[in-house]
């Protein structure tokens, strides 16, 4: 009999981008003249506990005392937290639906605000383990349930021990209380979640660092919204590129390296390049950048590198041919849109194709030489694998064909091998 897997997921700074008690304080204390000093105290207590420098029970007690919150404040908090779910958790909502019995939210936070947020993602209420507030008759929060093991130091360890789950346990979180599950031997692996915050003292102890939930699903071969985590795609930023441009790329989840030159050590692995105006790339380096998918150039790229080489290799180029001053977001947005949706609109070397985002489907990109019969070969392969096509888009120019196929069926790796083997194929990839 196959062992069941359980996924134990933290809430604050993991499932959500923020620490909920910190946010509650900002709501409940907003009219207090000394609010900033109190906010700082609460944040300090949070960080000390997350880093293992203060017992969780002491940190929790001190934070609740400072809150001065009531049930109306909680309603405001819940509304706020629903907008602050971590992006990688949000886009993988389907995973939680499929694995509703195996996903557990285990948090030192409070059910009163956790349950309304995670329940939207098909997580069962009986699988939510957290503290509960004590309130007065008029709804004022005055304390919390001290009997709950999650209110104590080492509370997650005590709770999971009591549950005696049979199967392989995996923990995902950002704090010391999450690592304690691994330290105790109760879970098989601890994944340090760093999409929102990276605590070095925790990262250094993790079995695996996961910059996104996509990464966790990928390394464990679990169903996911995107085929390949964006944190694994190296984006090389070269030259004096505005910070606004870099921030957009970081926010979208790509692994960023900002350098003043195209260093040799990045040639083999780079997936994206964004260059400042005036920068150049040698043809020889381009030819060896076999994983490179797109180049964004903040100005006119003519005579800065070989467009023909890029086209021959299936590398999509975005630039600003007129070198007009534009907002720093113009080129990064084109690059991001291509990586996320396959859109080539305003490309300097590829057929221009604008594509909609899709939901609950897989998007496959096939770049090929513009010769007769390739689309027929592609669709024959889909038919042989009993794949139903949801949507298909094709644009060509004199030399290139750019085909996008959306499918709603599960696929196997043999499908990819067959598509790659089609004669005159330049590049093939799966978006999601």
Residues sharing a CB contact under 8 Å with residue 184, sequence separation 6 or more, in sequence order: 157, 161
Q: Domain count for the chain, please give it.
A: 3
Which neighbouring-strand residues pair with 79?
Answer: none
Distance CA 271, CA 291 (A): 5
Q: Do 202 and 255 fall within a single domain?
A: no
Under the banding of pLDDT at 50, 70 and 90, the label for residue 430 is confident
Q: Are residues 98 and 26 both part of a single domain?
A: yes
Q: Compute the distance between CA of residue 27 and CA of residue 36 in angstroms, rounded to an integer.
A: 12
pLDDT in tens, 331-383: 999 999 999 888 999 999 998 888 877 766 788 899 999 999 999 999 999 88
202 in the same domain as 59: yes
pLDDT, tens only, 55-83: 878 888 888 888 888 999 999 999 999 99
Q: What is the pLDDT of residue 409?
A: 66
One domain for residues 199 and 247? no
Q: What is the DSSP string of 129-175?
A: EEE-EEE-TTSBEEEE-TTSGGGSTTHHHHHHHHHT--SEEEEEESS
Q: Is residue 145 part of a domain?
A: yes
In a domain, 68, yes or no: yes
How close are the terminal C-alpha atoms of the chain, in Å?
Answer: 32
Q: Cβ distance 283 to 307 under 8 Å?
A: no
> Given the structure tokens 């004199």, which residue do they identify?
398
Lowest pLDDT segment from 37-41, 117-121, 223-227, 323-327:
323-327
The answer on pLDDT for 431 being more than 90 is no
Task: Supply the pLDDT for residue 328.
Answer: 86
Q: Tens of pLDDT along 185-213?
A: 999 999 999 999 999 989 999 999 999 99
Alpha carbons 47 and 118: distance in angstroms, whole number: 23
The model's pTM is 0.81
Query: For residues 382 and 367, what is the distance between their CA atoms, to the nearest angstrom?
Result: 16
Which segment, 104-108, 328-332, 389-393, is predicted with the most confidence on average? 104-108
> What are residue 58's phi and psi, to 5 degrees?
-65, -45
Contacts of 146 (CB under 8 A, 6+ apart): none
Q: Provide the residue range defining the domain that includes 249.
A: 230-341
Measured distance CA(6)–CA(220) in Å, rounded: 12
What's the pLDDT at 224? 83
**28 and 118 both lie in a single domain:** yes
Q: Are residues 311 and 382 in the same domain?
A: no
Residue 45 has pLDDT above 60, yes or no: yes
Tell me the pLDDT band of 142, cut-offs 50, 70 and 90.
confident
Give residue 323's pLDDT.
64
Q: Are 108 and 60 in contact (CB under 8 A)?
A: yes
Same domain (yes/no): 335, 373: no
How many other β-carbons are positioned within 10 Å of the β-carbon of residue 73? 22
pLDDT grade, residue 324 (50/70/90)? low
Report in angstroms the alpha-carbon separations of 226 from 89, 247, 339, 359, 431. 12, 22, 11, 11, 6
Integer CA distances (angstroms), 321 to 298, 299, 348, in order: 9, 6, 8
Residue 297 in domain? yes
Position 227 confidence tier, pLDDT thresholds 50, 70, 90 = confident
185 belongs to a structural domain: yes
- pLDDT, residue 279, reads 95
Q: Is position 352 within any domain?
A: no
Q: Is the pLDDT of residue 2 over 70?
A: no
Do 123 and 199 sit in the same domain of this protein?
yes
Q: What is the dihedral of CA 338, 343, 345, 351, to 10 degrees?
A: 110
Instruction: Provide CB contacts within 8 A for 325, sequence distance 6+.
Output: none
CATH of the domain at 307: 3.40.50.720
- Written as six digits, the tokens of 167 are 């199967």
On whether both 34 and 180 belong to a single domain, the answer is yes
- How far apart CA 390 and CA 152 sit, in angstroms, is 52
Q: Which of 187, 219, 251 is the last residue of a domain?
A: 219
Mean pLDDT of 124-149: 91
Q: Name the token pair of 85.
A: 């779910």
> In the chain, helix, strand, coil percent, each to 5?
40, 20, 40
Taking each helix axis from N to C end, the angle separating 374-384 and 413-420, rounded to the nearest 10 degrees, works out to 160
Strands 400-407 and 389-396: antiparallel
Tell me, yes or no, whether 110 and 43 share the same domain.
Answer: yes
Structure confidence at residue 358 (pLDDT): 72
Q: How do strand 128-131 and strand 208-210 relate by DSSP bridges?
A: unpaired
Please, is 269 exposed, middle or buried when counting C-beta atoms within 10 Å of its C-beta (0-12, 13-18, 19+)?
Answer: middle
Q: Say if 375 falls within a structural domain.
A: yes
Residues paired with 356 in a beta bridge: none
* 276-301 average pLDDT score: 95
In a domain, 413, yes or no: yes
Of 326 and 310, more confident: 310
Q: Is the pLDDT of residue 1 over 60?
A: no
- 272 and 414, same domain (yes or no): no
| 144 pLDDT above the threshold of 60 | yes
CATH number at residue 94: 3.40.50.1000
Could you tell me if 256 and 152 lie in one domain? no
What is residue 325's predicted lDDT score, i.e. its pLDDT? 64
Look at residues 219, 249, 282 and tell me which one is the last residue of a structural domain.
219
For the chain, what percent of residues have pLDDT higher than 90?
A: 64
Can you give the pLDDT at residue 53? 86
CA–CA distance from 390 to each of 164, 359, 374, 417 (Å)? 45, 11, 19, 21
Cβ–Cβ < 8 Å for 187, 171: yes
- Domain with residue 384: its CATH number is 3.30.70.260
Using the CB atoms, write b or e for 162-177: b if 16+ within 10 Å: eeeeeeebbbbbbbbb
* Two tokens, residue 426: 């330049």
- Asked if residue 349 is part of any domain, the answer here is no
The domain boundary, picked from 277, 307, 341, lies at: 341
């Amino acid at each position: 009999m196959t062992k069941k897997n359980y996924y134990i997921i933290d809430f604050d700074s993991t499932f959500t981008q923020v620490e909920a008690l910190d946010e509650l304080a900002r709501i409940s204390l907003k009219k207090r003249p000394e609010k900033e000093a109190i906010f700082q105290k609460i944040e300090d207590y949070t960080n000390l506990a997350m880093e293992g420098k203060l017992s969780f029970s002491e940190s929790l007690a001190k934070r609740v005392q400072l809150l001065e919150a009531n049930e109306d404040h909680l309603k405001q908090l819940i509304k706020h937290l629903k907008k602050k779910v971590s992006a990688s958790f949000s886009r993988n909502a389907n995973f939680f639906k499929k694995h509703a019995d195996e996903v557990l939210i285990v948090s030192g936070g409070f059910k009163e605000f956790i349950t309304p947020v995670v329940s939207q993602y098909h997580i069962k209420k009986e699988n939510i383990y957290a503290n509960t507030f004590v309130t007065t008759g008029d709804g004022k929060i005055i304390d919390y349930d001290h009997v709950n093991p999650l209110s104590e130091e080492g509370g997650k360890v005590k709770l999971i021990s009591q549950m005696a789950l049979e199967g392989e346990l995996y923990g995902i979180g950002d704090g010391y209380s999450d690592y304690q599950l691994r330290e105790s031997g109760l879970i098989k692996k601890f994944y340090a979640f760093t999409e929102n915050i990276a605590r070095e003292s925790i990262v250094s102890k993790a079995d695996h660092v996961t910059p996104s939930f996509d990464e966790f699903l990928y390394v464990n071969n679990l169903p996911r919204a995107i085929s390949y985590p964006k944190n694994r795609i190296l984006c090389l930023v070269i030259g004096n590129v505005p910070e606004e441009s870099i921030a957009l790329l970081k926010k979208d989840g790509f692994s960023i390296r900002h350098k003043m030159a195209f260093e040799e050590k990045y040639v083999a692995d780079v997936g994206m390049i964004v260059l400042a105006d005036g920068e150049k790339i040698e043809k020889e380096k381009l030819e060896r950048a076999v994983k490179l998918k797109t180049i964004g150039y903040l100005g006119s790229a003519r005579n800065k590198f070989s467009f023909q080489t890029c086209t021959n290799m299936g590398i999509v180029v975005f630039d600003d041919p007129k070198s007009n001053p534009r907002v720093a977001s113009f080129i990064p947005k084109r690059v991001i849109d291509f990586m996320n949706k396959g859109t080539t609109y305003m490309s300097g070397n590829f057929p221009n194709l604008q594509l909609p985002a899709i939901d609950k489907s897989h998007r496959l990109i096939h770049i090929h030489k513009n010769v007769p019969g390739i689309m027929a070969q592609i669709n024959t392969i889909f038919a042989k694998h009993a794949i139903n096509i949801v949507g298909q888009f094709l644009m060509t120019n004199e030399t290139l064909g750019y085909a996008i196929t959306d499918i709603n069926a599960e696929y196997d790796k043999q499908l990819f091998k067959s598509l790659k083997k089609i004669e005159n194929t330049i590049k093939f990839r799966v978006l999601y």
